[in-house]
Amino acid sequence: MSNQTLTLIAAALLSLPLFAAPPNIVVFISDDHSMLDSEPYGSTDIRTPHMAKLAAEGMKFTHAFIASPACGPSRTTLCTGLWPARNGAEPNHKAKNPDVRSLPPVLHTLGYEVAAFGKVAHGNYGKDHGFDVLGGQQQGEIDTVEVGKFLANRDASKPLCLFFGTHHPHVPWGEKAGYDAAAIKLPPTHVDTPATREQRARYCSDITRSDTLLGELRALAKDKVPGDTLFIYTADHGAQWPFAKWNLYDAGIRIPFIAAWPGHLQPASTSDAMICWPDLLPTFIDLGGGMVPEGIDGKSFANVLRGTSTTHREKIFTTHSGDGDFNVYPIRSVRTRDWKYIRNLHPEFQHHTHISRSSNVTSGFNYWQSWLTAAESSPAAAATLKRYSVRPAEELYDLKNDPLELHNLADDPSQTQRLREMRTDVDTWMQQQGDKQTIFGKPLLIGEPVTMVDPGAGKKKKAK
């Protein structure tokens, strides 16, 4: 080997970033925020200046996904690195199984102080996951004041892993904040009514409220978290709109994920690596110098953040089991970069959610009534409602040519082989997961009248 070659290798090694000291990690989690509903991902009518600034200073991931499109199961996969069938939190509002290990304590053994403020785990389940610090309301509204006090008084010599979870833009959406309902752009899966536009404007306003909190947390992190710091913005799943939350369409499972890491990530860069929420804590453990526990589903994508790899997963599996009697509709799916296969386990069930079965107006029933009225005279509206509630056993989408998943190709003879392969992928994955395909709740069969579910029934049952 020549001296010149040795010199080049030495120069290359010296130019590599050092990872001996574990970085601080700050994660901002929004609640019910679909990927496309923000400036960095192409929205022109939703104001998210702090997200835009974060993307300008770091890396925007275009293929980030969750494991399940409901708050509880999604957040439990974050904390355990296991999909719901393995961690036990399959339906919404259920805790993980007691024998399932959580991952925050692994970070603690690496010297990290691991703190969660606001809605990070679900409900009161934060206490089950081994955070060193739990602050703020774990279910409801939170501001950044308590976080500021915590950062001002902690031992800054210890590396920090801080999670901050806002309730925005989860329902109930607040007052419109400068949004013109008439000018709002509606997805093609919406029925265009004045009530829809009113609520869409409120949803957009709540996204901007979340963005404001993001700006506050970034300012605190820059001021009070010294040293090497990775900052991430993400969301637990898509928005509470038809065909989004509680569904395995991209509007429900594809999320914003933006990371800024000065000195490591190139500003204004983009990654199309396929990542998912079970991967987050394994990645943090890897970055912190630890060994990712064996036997979990999550995989570290630290090398993508380090710049030594541009790919991660080839397939993303997602699962949904239900949310009380509002939503008894188990679904499984597999997604590649360009194709999506969805298995509706019980197509004889009607698909409904809080939106269509709860009389609580904050759940969406106020605009849903306007959709029902529109369907009486509009064939297009009637078709949307039918697609919402009555679904085939299998769905197949060409995401490259049909990114909004409007044209089901499961019956297309030219896709027979692809359908067979992706069907096998889901069968194999469910078997590996030990997925019993359990039905949680009382289903509503096709042909039965749609009845309302008491929003307080679950709370009353727990109180007894």
Q: Name the token pair of 33.
A: 């925020």
CA separation (Å) from 16 to 19, 122, 302? 9, 39, 15
| 41 falls within a domain | yes
Whether the Cβ atoms of residue 306 and residue 19 lie closer than 8 Å to each other: yes
Instruction: Kindly report the pTM of this predicted structure.
Output: 0.94
Residues 240 and 117 in one domain: yes
Cα–Cα dist 328/390, whole Å: 13
For 120-129, 231-240, 259-268, 322-331, which range has the lowest pLDDT when averaged over its residues? 120-129
Backbone angles phi, psi at 396, to 5 degrees: -140, 130
Residues 111 and 159 in one domain: yes
| 278 falls within a domain | yes
The residue among 333, 340, 332 whose CA lies nearest residue 436 is 332
Residues 294 and 341 in one domain: no
Cα–Cα dist 111/239, whole Å: 36
Q: How many residues does the chain have?
A: 464
| 4 falls within a domain | no
Looking at residue 137, its pLDDT comes to: 79
Residue 408 bridge partners (DSSP): none
Q: Is the pLDDT of residue 383 over 90?
A: yes
Residues 289 and 406 in one domain: no
Looking at residue 20, its pLDDT comes to: 62
Whether the Cβ atoms of residue 382 and residue 375 lie closer than 8 Å to each other: yes
**Could you tell me the pLDDT band of residue 312, with boundaries at 50, 70 and 90?**
very high
Looking at residue 366, its pLDDT comes to: 83
Q: Is the pLDDT of residue 19 over 90?
A: no
The residue among 218, 298, 312 whose CA lies nearest residue 24 is 218
Residues 291 and 335 in one domain: no
Residues 163 and 274 in one domain: yes
The residue among 259, 257, 251, 263 whose CA lies nearest residue 388 is 251
Query: How many domains are there within the chain?
Result: 2
Residues 86 and 106 in one domain: yes
- Helix orientation angle between 194-224 and 145-153, rounded to the nearest 10 degrees: 10
Residue 453 bridge partners (DSSP): 358
Whether the Cβ atoms of residue 69 and residue 253 lie closer than 8 Å to each other: yes
pLDDT in tens, 212-248: 999 999 999 999 999 999 999 999 999 999 999 999 9
| 411 falls within a domain | yes
pLDDT in tens, 51-63: 999 999 999 999 9
| 372 falls within a domain | yes
Mean pLDDT score across all residues of the chain = 93
Q: Which residues contact 153 (CB under 8 A, 6 or more apart)?
A: none
Q: Average pLDDT, stretch 370-397?
A: 98
pLDDT in tens, 62-114: 999 999 999 999 999 999 999 999 999 999 999 999 999 999 999 999 999 99
Q: Is the pLDDT of residue 3 over 50?
A: no
Looking at residue 457, its pLDDT comes to: 58
Looking at residue 36, its pLDDT comes to: 96
pLDDT in tens, 335-358: 999 999 999 999 999 999 999 999
Residue 444, domain CATH: 3.30.1120.10
Looking at residue 464, its pLDDT comes to: 38
| 151 falls within a domain | yes
Residues 161 and 211 in one domain: yes
pLDDT in tens, 395-431: 999 999 999 999 999 999 999 999 999 999 999 999 9
138 against 268, higher pLDDT: 268
Residue 27 bridge partners (DSSP): 163, 232
Looking at residue 17, its pLDDT comes to: 44
The residue among 114, 93, 60, 435 whose CA lies nearest residue 281 is 114
Residues 366 and 304 in one domain: no
Residues 27 and 89 in one domain: yes
Cα–Cα dist 72/138, whole Å: 12
Sign of CA dihedral 439, 442, 448, 450: negative
Whether the Cβ atoms of residue 247 and residue 34 lie closer than 8 Å to each other: no
Q: Is the pLDDT of residue 5 over 60?
A: no
Range of the domain at 384: 318-463
| 5 falls within a domain | no
Q: Name the token pair of 373.
A: 């009225």
Residues 156 and 302 in one domain: yes
66 against 10, higher pLDDT: 66
Of the residues 282, 313, 344, the one at which a domain ends:
313
Of the residues 283, 313, 343, the one at which a domain ends:
313
Residues 124 and 262 in one domain: yes
Q: Is the pLDDT of residue 25 over 50?
A: yes
147 against 19, higher pLDDT: 147
Whether the Cβ atoms of residue 287 and residue 301 lie closer than 8 Å to each other: no
| 14 falls within a domain | no
Q: What percent of the chain is predicted at pLDDT more than 90? A: 88
Of the residues 313, 334, 358, the one at which a domain ends:
313
Residue 210, domain CATH: 3.40.720.10
Q: Is the pLDDT of residue 6 over 60?
A: no
**Could you tell me the pLDDT band of residue 281, with boundaries at 50, 70 and 90?**
very high
